[in-house]
Structure 1
Amino acid sequence: MTRHEAIAAAIAPLRRRDGSGIRPGTTAADLPAAVLLGLPVLVALIGPLVAGTGEPPPDSVALPSQPPGAGHPLGTDVLGRDVLSLVLRGGSSVLGGTLAALLLSYAIAVPLGLLAAGTRRPLDETVMRALDLLLALPGLMILLTLAATGRSSSGWLIAVTAALQLPYVARLVRAAALAPGCRTVVEALRMQGRGWAYIHLRHLTRELAGPLATDAGARFSGVLYLMASANFLGLGLPSSSPDWSVLIERNSDALFTQPAAVLVPAGLLMSLCVGGNLCVDRALARRRTAG
């Protein structure tokens, strides 16, 4: 066997079955990311059905901060409620609130970014400078201010979190829309008589799908962190909520006597964050290799 034949035989397992290039990923590499992301998502989606949301929590018959035992596989929290039931019911608010804030921010920021990229400079400067004002406002400080005025609810938390993401997403959209490749296609479509809505809302939005997907994967973790921090500080959901971040805050004093009440919801939050990032990284790696 010659030297070139030996090299070809060594790299053969790494190639696609059709011989077109390197495999973008393997099942073994994708499995940890899928498990880390899938576990908290399944708990959030199926948990309320399994736990039975219509049943009252068993806080009237159980002692507080009890370790795992008969009838309570994960023990009880500081209020005597079954931790397993709370964990199963608490993921929907985490996942739903994070996705709602993320989708709301993109629904507003994408048109603003396209507007700034497709207009003359005075309007462009006005839009971007107005959004830049949000960059100087700390997120938790705004939530603390709203809480002091009595506006501490899940709706306000989602709205403020989405508003804080606007300048970042709008800047990304504007920069991507002003790229030379995009501008060349835009000028060609203008010469064909296409209108602003067709060019920006149809063509450019499709071209920006890749950068937006990449940004959404990374931004998901930031939104999750901000909303979990706000709920942990009592700035969003009420203290009786089964939300995972609220459970961590309520049971933090009982960490050493009843660690499951803190470590289980904290582990699910960490798994959701890490798994989401890993899945995005794997998807981008496959796309780069395929390209």
Structure 2
Amino acid sequence: MTPERATLATRRGGRTRHPWIALVLVGVPVLAAVLGPWLADGTAVGQERALPSQPPGAGHLLGTDVLGRDVLWLVLHGGASVIGSTLGALLVGMAVGLLLGLLAAGPRRGLDETVMRGLDLLLAFPGLLVLMTLAATGHRDWFWLVAVAGALQVPAVARLVRGAALAPATRAVVEALRMQGRGWAYIHLRHLTRELAAPLATDAGGRFSVVLYLLASANFLGLGLPASSPDWAVLIERNSDALFTQPAAVLVPAGLLTALCVGGNLLVDHALAHRGRLR
């Protein structure tokens, strides 16, 4: 959504008028991820096995999963991997993309072509296909999942940085600083990074949902974390066959993932609308 459309939505009473809705949607899964392990460790309920796929009741507020584990205990422990892996992959993609985009926007034309054509090659690979290949080679742990998901975001971030850095107004300031004798590090890592902070922050907000979707899809398809993980996407996959007998084991983690994704998008829309009003 462009700033103009976001502003129009606000004037029409659209969803960006009430940022507290987005904060609640994001806050619930974030609090569950941050405080969940501490709350769950205060009780021994989740450490005891019971009958599989039991509905909610006394002793198991959300019932049990297909392995007889307490669903509430699993949900409280599963958010840390979701948010941690998403933020980790996002940080990798933004940091590497920023550096490569600044290199491509530099004065050396040959370096620009080399960087961008290499990123075009990476952009041609479907994300799930890359993760499928990674899983087939036995690299299924958290580190590889985050690293590859982050690397897949690099081309888009680098293109954004390069386009913003090559804008006429930006280039005029860069040329003026270069004529003053400023070095590459000062111009690109200090001045340009500060100028690119706003578009990068906006892109990061929207890209969070992209990374979350990619990682959740990989875990749901069995390409990421092991089946014993309490990760919310893994829980959905493991209990999908018991949707009608024990819906809480599927709907609760699915609802938390949906709230996190929708709330993040609403926050980005609100930020764009606020930015449009300032203009």
Distance 1:26 1:224, change over 3 A: closer
Letter in 2 for 1:211: P
Query: Could you tell me which of 11, 18, 25 is aligned with 1:36?
Result: 25
Alpha carbons of structure 1 residues 98 and 54: separation in structure 2 relative to 1, 3 Å: farther
2:259 partner SS? helix
Note the 1:133-152 alignment, pairs <5 A: 133-152=121-140
Q: In 2, Cα distance between the equivalents of 1:206 and 1:183? A: 14
- 2:55 maps to which of 21, 42, 67: 67
Within the candidate set 176, 181, 199, 1:211 is matched to 199
Cα 1:99–1:54, aligned 2, differ >3 Å: closer, same or farther? farther
**Aligned residue identity for 2:206:** A
Amino acid paired to 1:195:
G
Matches within 5 A, 1:158-173: 158-173=146-161
Deviations 1:151-177 (A, max 9, x none): 111111111101111111001100000
Matched, 1:132 2:120: yes
Give how far 1:36 is off.
0.6
Q: CA deviation at 1:53?
A: 8.0
Asked if 1:248 is matched to 2:244, the reply is no
Contact 1:51–1:88 (CA under 8 A) maintained in structure 2: yes
Which of 105, 109, 134 matches 2:97?
Answer: 109
Report whether the alignment pairs 1:185 with 2:173.
Answer: yes
Deviations 1:241-285 (A, max 9, x none): 110000000000000000000000000000000001101111221
Specify the alignment match of 1:3 in structure 2. Answer: none
Q: Please, what is the CA RMSD of the aligned residues?
A: 1.8
Q: What is the CA–CA distance in structure 1 between the aligned matches of 2:129 and 2:24, rounded to whole Å?
A: 35
Contact map agreement 2:94 2:154 (CA 8 A) in 1:
yes
1:257 has 2:245 as partner: yes
Structure 1 residues 31-78: Cα deviation after superposition (integer angstroms, max 9, x where no partner): 211111111111111111101189584343x10000000011110000
Q: Which residue of 1 aligns with 2:213?
A: 225
Of 167, 178, 183, 1:195 maps to 183
Q: Structure 2 vs 1, CA of residues 26 and 116 (structure 1 numbering), >3 Å: closer, same or farther?
A: closer
Give the % identical residues.
72
Structure exhibiting the larger radius of gyration computed from Cα positions: 1
Q: Is the 8 A contact 2:53 2:245 kept in 1?
A: yes
Q: What is the CA distance between 1:191 and its match in structure 2?
A: 1.3
Distance 2:153 2:119 in 1: 10
Query: Does the CA contact (< 8 Å) of 1:37 and 1:276 recur in 2?
Result: yes
In 2, Cα distance between equivalents of 1:197 and 1:143: 35
Report the AA paired with residue 52 of structure 1.
D
Contact 1:251 1:262 in 2 (8 A): yes
- Which amino acid in the other structure matches residue 49 of structure 1? W
Supply the distance in 2 between the matched residues of 1:54 and 1:38 (Cα, whole angstroms).
23
Determine if contact 2:17/2:270 at 8 Å carries over to the other structure: no
Q: Does 1:49 align with 2:38?
A: yes
Letter in 2 for 1:33: A
The answer as to whether partners of 1:143 and 1:235 remain within 8 angstroms in 2 is yes
Instruction: Note if contact 1:177-1:183 (Cα within 8 Å) is conserved in structure 2.
Output: yes
Shift of 1:26: 11
Q: Does 1:266 align with 2:249?
A: no
**TM-score computed with the length of structure 2 as normaliser:** 0.92
Report the AA paired with residue 234 of structure 1: G
How far has the Cα of 1:235 moved from its partner? Answer: 1.5
Match of 1:285 among 266, 273, 279: 273
Q: Deviations over 1:208-263 (max 9, x none)?
A: 01111111111111100000011111211111111000000000000000000000
Which position in structure 1 is the counterpart of 2:74?
86
Q: Which runs of 5+ in 1 are unaligned?
A: 1-21
Q: Distance in 1 between matches of 2:19 and 2:231?
A: 29
State how far apart, in whole Å, the 1-side matches of 2:219 and 2:16 are: 36
Do 2:16 and 2:266's aligned partners in 1 also have CA atoms closer than 8 Å?
no
